[in-house]
Each structure stands twice: as C-alpha cells, then as structure tokens.
Chain A
C-alpha cells in the first residue's frame, strides 16, 4: 500500500520553464491537496480538490494550475516558473474531509533559477 506518491522528488527549472508535478493516492480518498513549504512560512495551501471533478484555490494559488484527473490523481502545473516558486511541494489526501487527518507524499524539492 503506497499511500500518496509524488513525482519527481527533485527538479531544477530555469525561469519561464513549465512543469507538472504528479500526485497519486491509492487510499480511495475523496479530497486531495497541494501545499508548499518554505522556511519560516510553514505549510501553505496552494489548491485543493474536495472531490473528483472539483478544484478550489487555497491561500497561494497565483502562478499555479491544477487538474483532478480522476479520483486517484491530482496534478500541479507551473506554467511559467519564477524564482519565488522555489520551494518544497507536498501533495496530501484525506478520506474524511478537509479538516481531518491528512496523508502526505514525500515531497518535491523544486529550484527555479
């Protein structure tokens, strides 16, 4: 049982490049989330999907887009990467609602030069 799987684990981009972070969960959870973690800022919610077919903005959505491809998969896209998007990104899922226990992936460390 893999839980929440994120790819890639590391990525270096040049300013202006695009990329998609992939996330999949095998726990049949309805809700999925994308967070970024920065030193001194804690975890900040970028986007979330309460159920298949729905997505909503979190605290810091600018510069990102998401796709809830199906119940298992929730991807995060950076259309034109900026140095301010250098961060560690975490995908998470929850089977009991947005404010209940979250299961996290192992993270993607992204550097934008």
Chain B
C-alpha cells in the first residue's frame, strides 16, 4: 500500500523558477526520503530527513518535515532543464512496519528552457 502522496502529480515551470512539491503520509515515521527518477532510469537518492529534524539542505534542494501535519516538502531553487524528472517521497520506520520503505506515486516535474 502507498502511504506517501505527492502533490501536485505534475508540475511545469520555466528554467530559473523554484519548484515545490509536497508529500503527505499517514503513520508515524523515523525518516522521510526524496528520490529523483529521470525518464527510463533508476531512482537516485536525493535527501533523507529524520523525524527529529525540521529542515535539511543539499545544494539547491531544501526539504522540510512537519511531523504534526504528517507532511514534507521538497523545494528545488533556480531550476534547470536537467531537473526535469519524477520525484518520489518514501517513508521509513513506519508504525507497524519498520522493515521497508513505503513509496508515494511521484510528482512529474518539467522544467522548460
């Protein structure tokens, strides 16, 4: 079963703009992760944020986690055409199931040059 729900399902922006996508989940978690998938390729890990963290940065990426709202957001600043991909959130250490990640359905991001 899918726990994470990404929002929006699809996003189209111009190069240089910021892109924000959201992930909501249902149970308590130990961590939340974001992955990128370019068309026809495997998933690549972007960032992991633990339940006791509120914000994390990695280059142009900023992830926030609000455990009270059971939600996370991924912000990509100054987007580039190369950021065009699908982005997935996955939650780990879920209550009642700490043995695997639970995945969302993804946000498809198109960055237009």
A99 close to B42 (CB less than 8 A): no
Q: Does A104 sit within 8 A of B, measured CB to CB?
A: yes
Q: Which of B1, B30, B43, B105 contacts A102 (CB 8 A)?
A: B43
Instruction: Report whether B101 and A106 are in contact in the complex, using a CB–CB cutoff of 8 Å.
Output: no
A40, A58, A98 interface centre (most CB from chain B within 10 Å): A98
B90 surroundings in chain A (CB, below 8 A): 43
Interface residues of B (CB under 8 A from A): 1-2, 30-31, 33, 35, 40-45, 48, 88, 90, 92-94, 98-101, 103-106
Known: A42-B2, A99-B99, A101-B33. A106 touches B48 (CB 8 A): no
| Interface residue ranges, A against B (CB under 8 Å) | 4, 33, 40-45, 48, 50, 56, 58-59, 90, 92, 98-107
Contact indicator A99/B31 (Cβ below 8 Å): yes
Q: Bound state CA distance, A45 and B90, in angstroms?
A: 12
The answer, among A42, A98, A107, for a CB contact under 8 Å with B100, is: A98
**In the complex, what residues of A have CB within 8 A of residue B48's CB?**
100-101
Asked if A42 and B31 make an inter-chain contact with CB atoms under 8 angstroms apart, the answer reads: no
Q: Which residues of A have CB within 8 Å of B94?
A: 99
Q: Number of A-B pairs whose CB atoms are under 8 Å?
A: 59
Given that A40-B105, A42-B2 are contacting pairs, would A48 and B100 also be in contact in the complex, using a CB cutoff of 8 Å? yes
Chain B nearest CB: distance from A31 CB in Å?
A: 10
Q: How far is the CB of B72 from chain A (nearest CB, A)?
A: 15
A99-B98, A105-B42 known; 10 other A-B pairs, CB under 8 Å? A40-B105, A41-B105, A42-B88, A43-B90, A90-B42, A99-B30, A99-B100, A102-B45, A104-B44, A106-B41
Q: How far is the CA of A44 from the CA of B100 in the complex (A)?
A: 11
A58 in contact with B45 given A42-B88, A99-B92 (CB within 8 Å): no
| B106 / chain A contacts, CB cutoff of 8 Å | 42
Which residues of chain B are within 8 angstroms of A48 by Cβ–Cβ distance? 100
Instruction: Establish whether residues B43 and A104, one from each chain, have CB atoms under 8 Å apart when the complex forms.
Output: yes
- Listed residue (A40, A43, A58, A106) with the most chain B CB atoms within 10 angstroms of its CB: A43
